[in-house]
Amino acid sequence: MLVLRLLNVVAPAYFLCISLVTFVLQIFVFIPSMFRDPSTTPLFSPALLHGALFLFLSANALGNYVLVIQSSPEDLGKDLNLGKGAEVADWLDGSRSPGSALPSTHFCRLCARVTQRHDHHCFFTGNCIGSRNMRNFIMFCLYTSLACLDSLVAGMAYISATLSMSFADPLAFLTLLPHSISQFFSGALLSSEMFVILMLYLWLGIGLACAGFCCHQMLLILRGQTRYQVRKGMVVRARPWRENLQEVFGKKWLLGLLIPVQNVESNYHRQKEK
């Protein structure tokens, strides 16, 4: 438990550090040093368009990240009937209170909070993912993967121009790291260039992980399930996939896709039951 609590503090700091490094490299290294084409007008220059795209992706990723943290499940626990006296201890053991609002309501030891439609505990946000912040969490994963892909392409272009190498061969990226390490220790490669190369593989790993997690989460939403329900073997009532999507994303899903806003009509299912 002590290790998990430490990870719950270190992981968000690690993510924010990676985000800051990515922002600095993009704004102060990649964009000024690359995509210089004198034939284009300043309004439609590749550097300006690329910078606008990166800022859009970064703003959505960071905005949804903040909303996931702010959408704390703590308030939900106050509205649930957890019973009296020692009933709360049952939540610590993983059992459910008879008065819980939903079968997937769960008490998290790390958060010490009750989460409605509990999915999992995210260490990178230090918060549980449930009914209030599921949509923001998916948008956070989506835009983080896109921002990492954008940074990966920009970084490869920067390395290609700086080291005069081509990535036309698919094996060039795979052999880049071992060749760069040997050149770095031989003094033929600068430390700043080596740092960018290491960041390329970090962006690739984070981007693929976030994309895979986003796809897996969307599959569970289409089925009307949560990871907690799958792990516990809970049987859920079959519903049309459109209703499952609308319960998480709301009717105005396009607004939440373009702008980091909180709970765009995500209470559709509750209103329908009323």
| Catalytic hit among 17, 111, 122, 214 | 122
122 catalytic residue (yes or no): yes
One-letter amino acid of 253:
W
Residues composing the chain: 274
User: DSSP character for 43?
Assistant: G
Rounded to an integer, what distance in angstroms lies between the CA atom of residue 116 and that of residue 124? 20
Residue 171 burial (CB < 10 Å; 0-12/13-18/19+)? exposed
Q: Rounded to whole angstroms, what are the CA distances from 55 to 61, 63, 68, 147, 223? A: 10, 12, 20, 9, 34
- The answer to whether the beta carbons of residues 119 and 129 sit under 8 Å apart is yes
37 by DSSP, 3-state: which?
coil
User: DSSP character for 85?
Assistant: T
Q: Which residues are catalytic?
A: 122
